[in-house]
């Protein structure tokens, strides 16, 4: 008897998690009735309930996982790019939970601002980022308006989701990974030269660039982040040329000390995508200078605010 009871409560927990907001006491009643009154095996009863009720279930971008999805999702087209002679359409979808890039090799009538209900689509990594791919069997129907929101996330929340495209975060630069600041890259592949050489192209030409690689921490968790030249210049408040004229290219140690002095402990507000190479890396796509960050958010980081709204 105990075995059956355990099996039942396990199935119940799984169904509740799967149904999410759609779960109700009525559905739980149906499960009990099927299993106890009609002696339907638990696994079969679960399938019956799924077939009956989950058709209604609507996904949200933040809940998407990799793989094929039959269930509908409602999205708004944020932007569309149609690529040259290749029949490729790409862009960004959004809903009230976040944003996700999409790609399609089939011409659907996607236009900026239009809202659709999608079914039968794939989610797979494209350049390390989970992306919706519309395939031959995908269906698109115009839908009622979908609101787009891109809520501010905590780093700990980020690590629980699969879709983390252009998420908004606020954090503090905890430590710097070298090489950061001025770097020299291979002209053929863009790799950073080590000891003056590219590991793939021995005597290739090179060029100076700037990048930052650091640990970002928001109190909930921390993550490795990288910034390209433009973003690095904004965070640092100095251009590549200014860094060169300060002599940072020649005097590496001095440069490292200066970088740490300017960056460690600095708060930044960013829009970034979590990409997965060999490890998870946050690629910063937009940054706000610290003076723009409301002090309440800095206080929240240290959790020194009092719960004034408890009353
Ligand atoms: Zn190279």
Kindly give the distance from the C-alpha atom of residue 284 to the centroid of ligand 1, in angstroms, as a whole number.
Answer: 24
pLDDT surpassing 80 at residue 56: no
Q: Report the pLDDT averaged over residues 98-109.
A: 90
- What local confidence, expressed as pLDDT, does residue 95 receive? 94
Q: Is 60 exceeded by the pLDDT of residue 308?
A: no
Q: Which residues surround ligand 1, an ion (CB under 5 A)?
A: 186, 188-189, 191, 198, 200-201
Q: In what order do the strands lie in the sheet with 115-119?
A: 67-69, 121-126, 129-134, 98-104, 88-95, 73-83, 115-119, 139-142
| 192 C-alpha to ligand 1 centroid (Å) | 8
Residue 74 has pLDDT above 60, yes or no: yes
**155: pLDDT strictly greater than 90:** yes
Bridge partners of 280, per DSSP, are 276
pTM (global) more than 0.85: no
CA of 183 to the centre of ligand 1 (A): 14
pLDDT at position 291, please?
58
155-302 maps to CATH 3.40.640.10? no
Distance 61 CA to ligand 1 centre (A): 37
Phi-psi group of 169: left, alpha or beta (phi > 0 → left; psi -120 to 50 → alpha; rest → beta): beta
Longest dimension (CA), the chain: 82
- Interval 183-197: pLDDT, tens: 999 999 999 998 889
Q: Residue 76 has what pLDDT?
A: 95
* Ligand 1 centre distance from Cα of residue 203 (Å): 9
- Tell me, yes or no, if the two domains 61-142 and 155-302 fold the same way: yes
Quick one: average pLDDT of 163-170?
Answer: 92
The angle at the Cα of 279, spanning 273 to 285, to the nearest 5 degrees, equals: 20
Where would I find the H helices in the chain? 2-19, 25-32, 42-53, 155-158, 229-236, 240-245, 252-263, 295-302
Contact 215, 174 (CB under 8 A): yes
Pick the CATH number of 61-142 from 2.60.40.10, 3.40.50.720, 3.40.50.280, 2.40.50.140: 2.40.50.140
Higher pLDDT residue, 1 or 97? 97
Domain extents in the chain: 2-56, 61-142, 155-302
């Amino acid at each position: 008897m105990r075995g059956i009871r355990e099996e039942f409560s396990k199935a119940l927990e799984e169904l509740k998690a799967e149904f999410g907001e759609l779960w109700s006491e009525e559905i739980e009643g149906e499960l009990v009735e099927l299993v106890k009154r009609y002696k339907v095996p638990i696994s079969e009863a679960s399938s019956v309930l799924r077939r009956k009720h989950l058709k209604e279930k609507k996904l949200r971008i933040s809940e998407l996982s990799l793989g094929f999805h039959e269930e509908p999702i409602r999205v708004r087209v944020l932007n569309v790019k149609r690529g040259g002679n290749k029949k490729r359409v790409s862009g960004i979808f959004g809903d009230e939970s976040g944003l996700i890039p999409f790609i399609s090799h089939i011409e659907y009538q996607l236009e900026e601002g239009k809202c659709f209900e999608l079914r039968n689509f794939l989610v797979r990594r494209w350049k390390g980022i989970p992306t919706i791919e519309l395939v031959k069997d995908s269906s698109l129907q115009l839908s009622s308006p979908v609101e787009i929101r891109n809520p501010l996330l905590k780093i700990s929340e980020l690590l629980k989701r699969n879709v983390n495209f252009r998420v908004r975060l606020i954090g503090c630069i905890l430590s710097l990974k070298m090489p950061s600041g001025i770097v020299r890259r291979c002209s053929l592949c863009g790799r950073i030269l080590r000891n003056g050489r590219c590991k793939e192209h021995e005597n290739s030409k090179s060029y100076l660039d700037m990048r930052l690689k650091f640990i970002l921490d928001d109190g909930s968790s921390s993550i490795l982040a990288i910034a390209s030249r433009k973003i690095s210049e904004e965070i640092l408040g100095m251009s590549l040329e200014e860094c060169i004229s300060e002599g940072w290219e020649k005097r590496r140690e001095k440069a490292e000390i200066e970088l740490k002095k300017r960056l460690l402990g600095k708060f930044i507000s960013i829009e970034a995508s979590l990409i997965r190479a060999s490890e998870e890396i946050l690629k910063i796509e937009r940054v706000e200078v610290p003076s723009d960050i409301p002090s309440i958010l800095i206080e929240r980081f240290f959790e020194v605010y009092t719960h004034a709204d408890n009353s």
